[in-house]
Amino acid sequence: MKKNTLFLTMALLSLATPASAHTLFSSAHSGFMAGFAHPWHGADHVLMMFAVGLWAYILGGRALWVLPLSFLGVMAAGAGLGYADFHLPYAEIWVSASVLILGLIISFNWRTSVVSAATCVMVFALSHGYLHFAEIPPAAAQGEYMVGFLLSTALLHGLGIAAGLLNAKTEGLLRMNFGYICTAAGLLLLAGY
């Protein structure tokens, strides 16, 4: 089972390269498909969104739907801030910090109320949405682009939940491996600032 967890993590990381995303969606550089491809362009987005799903699985119950929906709602609001030309300071640092912090939360199996967990992911979702909007290609239809990255984000949340379900017997191993990878990636991302 340890190999399955490592394979899943490596597969997710390999999908996060810009070359893969551009090859997969090379025929559409604007609108829905560009938005759908965008979250896969960077390890920070892939790791964070997968982590939200995995944490939702770990907490269970209402968290399975509250955490992903909270993230998506506030992420859309963050994109709205970008649309309104509002400047969100340190957004890239917040995105990097979100990877580190959620990695630590998952590594240490932090159990909290659904409200506290949702609040935590919403704080980070604002920056993710803001940066997604900031990176819309000039020719893209903004509404279609936003729908694309919101659906892609929901898919990544679902993959995090599915990974937990598929590895239910070895949840601790999955949690620790993914949490450590997420934490290390967050440290590397923050070291770049």
User: Is the pLDDT assigned to residue 24 strictly greater than 50?
Assistant: no
pLDDT reading at 18 higher than 70? no
* Low-confidence winner among 16-25, 125-134, 151-160 (lowest mean pLDDT): 16-25
Confirm if 131 and 91 have CB atoms less than 8 A apart.
Answer: yes
| Mutual angle of helices 171-191 and 142-166, in 10-degree steps | 140
Residue 29 scores a pLDDT above 80: no
Token duo for residue 80: 């709205």
pTM metric for this prediction: 0.83
> Can you tell me the distance from the alpha carbon of 158 to that of 31, in angstroms, rounded to the nearest whole number?
23
pLDDT, average across residues 40-46: 90
